[in-house]
Chains A and B, each alone.
Chain A
């Protein structure tokens, strides 16, 4: 019996528990559900960007044979929105439309052709208003307000001034300031938005299956918008084809499907086209940034002064949070004391922005890492040296009260420097080739949830029955990031059992405990910890049962996972036997585990909104990007990326690698090719060809090093892995281009057109003898 030991699952590469379903086509996504009585739901969208709705006449559409329901804003009991303080969106527009493509009405019919025909029969009279497509236009004097309660079209302005910025600038040996312009980008997850709503007319109950990252928020908003009790709603999350933040709130596709299903008394499926998915948007806002940094000769940063203006789109959405993150995330990565921030989130007549992977932090990082790279070169310092001159020492609290408990950035820097051959190769790659580097960080979940209810951040239920299988019930939304696998690992490791004993049931409000959802990289940290807590509670019950059966004291029971015994000479009890003993007199076991954040991690009160940024742990990343630039076409080829990511203990190294590669690559799309483009509010990019995400041909090898600076409170020491290395790519790329051809790109995406313009401007400026480069 001596060779028996608990099964290890943590730290070993684990293919996903739901992988077989995905590779065989058995995985059911929202659009794959059907029912014999199901109707097709379609949405009528506004052809104008800003207008008063004078009238909506649905009579002719309702009269069309095969139409079972038509709904408009009049059918909505209330507004909706993701932040309790900013719910100003209607599922179907009432009174006004504020962007081109905004839903105005919806139809349920027996087939798509009939539904489409019915849409054409709905008569809407609009009285057009001036429309604003840029932040500048919307902020201009005399612009009318999109929302009465948001004067000047400012969703939120943020100001903080911490430490002594003016003193820091005065003390610096070098002060430099640059401005940056970043295009709006969209998540473009592979699965178009879809919702399948079933309505039980006898019981007045709604069941929703939809492509969401946040089943709980969908549940809340369905009840609110339908004006029904929350107990009349059940939300079941099917397989989800990616999210990246586009589904961290309730979308009109879900609300329209539900309104139609209730009115028709039938099942309704709404599947958006790719174009409509782009119109739904919720991406990362177009931003202008001004960044000023003071630096000593040795590279230490003395002060930061910056401003961000974000074009938020037509509704509040996550806007307040996004602009607050843009400011607070200047902290938490380097030792910065003095910083000043002015942030403006502006409402415009464009599709609403939301939370996109790396939420709020990406453009701040781009501006900062670009500027300090230039300053390093001006001071004759190596870019690595400048970063190393400003490292934090964990544990520490930042000037804006963010808790930093673990910090592996130094190790990340060492690895990418060495792996890329930086010291030997930098400057020696030949003409038009270059190396660039940058660092980044991200939170492991927000320590204060948006909906503060007093409940723990995460709750897990484990159920064990006579078959000795363990059912893990979680509300955490598996959206392809591997959360169900990580939770199964946490439970298996704590109990020392094989993962095959564990079945994960994720996100069915009738079965699983509530969870806030998959966003802000909260799930591994928070739900992982709750899973461990639940498994420990289960283990205590099993040890008690084993002790009873073995007639020894619980503290003398040795738990070897699949065997519980009293000592080395004891043959012990199998897991099945222990379970049967535990069930005796009690029946099916159900145990619970919870997780809550500690008050030190809640963020500060130093300015309005300062809690945004508060987290239990930060991930850190450094990357080196190697590029070649074609001098004739200005086309950039990314030859290779080396990235090191500190995720604390890597629970599933296979998945961590996948997350880091995906993050870096998504950063690459934003840096090089992706942008939303509008003409008078009409989307010019609303398909997967014009919205240029990199193909497999454009995509470089990405070598990943996992750095494990264990977090004292993380599950087995883990932190986030899925977002932190995205933002670093943008400045690492432009720093590499600067190294290759000597120009500083400040506008993204850096398409060949933009780079050619920049090269021409630079050449003109040089010919004119001036130093200024736009």
Chain B
């Protein structure tokens, strides 16, 4: 079965015919070519596919595209405006919160979701918000610093 999916992706309203069993991550990567969102596991294990659905971080690999009717989806590609990195992106870049970069889109979106809800998170808040996202390079130290730097920048 197929569904006509009406959805807003990165600010652009779209209508697409999608199979009912298509995962949101496959819709984003394969149907509309937004390959910034990554697949790091076989489902719900690593957080690399994290996107915002109506502002909340969700695993795109555990979400059926057809269930996103009328939703607002934001991926990592949505954050930079007019070629300028967003605060969270600049934090990850300048503090070296990204080494290989593969977990980064998911990390960045989970952190973006956090800062939208809680602009002044404590370290414990940051750890809690990123608990479902695995990074294998950094030991997370600089990821925490990256989110803190972004929160500071947004506050100033």
What residues of chain A have their CB less than 8 Å away from a CB belonging to chain B?
Answer: 15-16, 18-29, 31-32, 34, 187-192, 239-242, 244, 271, 273-275, 479-482, 654-655, 657-658, 661-662, 664-666, 668, 687-689, 693, 695-697, 699, 701-702
Contacts and interface: CB of A to CB of B under 8 A. Distances in A.
Nearest to A480: B100
Given A274-B42, A696-B130, A662 B137 contact: yes
Chain B CB within 10 Å — which of A187, A188, A695 has the most?
Answer: A695
Interface stretch (B52-60, B63-71, B103-111): B103-111
A695 B141 CA distance: 11
Contacts, number: 172
Contacts of A242: 99-100, 102, 136-137
A588 to B, nearest CB: 30
Given A242-B102, A657-B142, A191 B89 contact: no
B114 to A, nearest CB: 12
Contact of A695 (B35, B36, B76, B131): B131
Contact of A693 (B30, B79, B131, B134): B134
B18 interface: no
Contacts of B101: 18-19, 21-23, 27, 239, 241, 480
Given A480-B137, A655-B96, A662-B139, A22 B104 contact: yes
Contacts of A21: 101
B100 to A, nearest CB: 3
Nearest to B88: A23
6 contacts: A16-B93, A242-B102, A274-B41, A482-B99, A658-B99, A687-B42
Interface in B67-106: 75-77, 79-80, 85, 89-90, 92-94, 96, 98-105
B93 to A, nearest CB: 4
B77 to A, nearest CB: 5
B122 interface: no
A27 B35 CA distance: 9
A346 B97 CA distance: 40
A688 B96 CA distance: 24
Contacts of A16: 93, 96, 98-99
A27 B99 CA distance: 12
Interface residues of B, number: 53
A481 B99 contact: yes
A241 B80 CA distance: 22
Contacts of B35: 25, 28, 31-32
Contacts of A661: 138-139, 141-142
A695 B85 contact: no
B7 interface: no
Contact of A25 (B105, B134, B143): B105
B12 interface: no
B140 interface: yes
B135 interface: yes
A24 B39 contact: no
Given A658-B96, A696-B133, A697-B127, A31 B104 contact: no
Contacts of B77: 24-26
B142 A23 contact: no
Given A25-B36, A190-B135, A688 B89 contact: no
Interface string B33-59: 011111111100110100000000000
Contact of A190 (B89, B130, B136): B136
Given A190-B46, A668-B139, 11 more contacts: A16-B96, A19-B98, A23-B98, A24-B89, A190-B48, A190-B100, A191-B100, A240-B100, A274-B42, A480-B101, A699-B141
Nearest to A691: B45
A521 to B, nearest CB: 15
B39 A192 contact: yes
A23 B99 contact: no
Contact of A687 (B30, B36, B41, B144): B41
B46 A23 contact: no
Contacts of A668: 139
A482 B93 CA distance: 12
Nearest to A665: B139
Nearest to B79: A24
B88 to A, nearest CB: 8
Chain B CB within 10 Å — which of A31, A191, A273, A479 has the most?
Answer: A191
B156 interface: no
A482 B130 CA distance: 24
Contacts of A479: 100
A240 B137 CA distance: 12
A697 B17 CA distance: 40
Contacts of B131: 695-697
Contacts of B45: 274, 687-689
B13 to A, nearest CB: 21
Contacts of A693: 134, 136
A739 B97 CA distance: 34
A189 B100 contact: yes
Contact of B141 (A27, A244, A702): A702
Chain B CB within 10 Å — which of A24, A28, A688 has the most?
Answer: A24
Contacts of B133: 696
B92 A190 contact: no
Given A695-B134, A699-B140, A191 B79 contact: no
A35 to B, nearest CB: 13
A244 B139 CA distance: 14
Nearest to B141: A661
Chain A CB within 10 Å — which of B77, B85, B98 has the most?
Answer: B98
A277 B89 CA distance: 29
B134 A662 contact: no
B75 A25 contact: yes
Contacts of A689: 45
A566 B85 CA distance: 42
B134 A190 contact: yes
A662 B99 contact: yes
A556 B62 CA distance: 68
Given A20-B85, A190-B48, A693-B136, A241 B100 contact: yes
Contacts of B137: 190, 242, 480, 658, 662
Contacts of B75: 25
A27 B140 CA distance: 21
Chain A CB within 10 Å — which of B39, B40, B76 has the most?
Answer: B40
Contact of A26 (B36, B48, B134): B36
A689 B128 CA distance: 17
Contacts of B76: 23-25
Given A190-B135, A696-B131, A696-B144, A273 B42 contact: yes
Contacts of A23: 76, 85, 89-90, 92-93, 98, 101, 104, 108
A118 B125 CA distance: 48
B98 to A, nearest CB: 5
A481 B39 CA distance: 21
Contact of A696 (B37, B100, B104, B127): B127
Contacts of A28: 35
Contacts of B41: 192, 274, 687-688
A658 B104 contact: no
Nearest to B98: A22
A19 B102 CA distance: 12
A73 B16 CA distance: 42
A658 B85 contact: no
B142 A25 contact: no
Contact of B102 (A24, A241, A481, A688): A241
Nearest to A191: B102
B89 A699 contact: no
Contacts of B130: 696
Contacts of B30: 34
A283 to B, nearest CB: 13
A702 B99 CA distance: 17
B42 A191 contact: no
Nearest to B36: A25
Nearest to B123: A701
Nearest to A667: B139
B51 to A, nearest CB: 11
B149 to A, nearest CB: 12
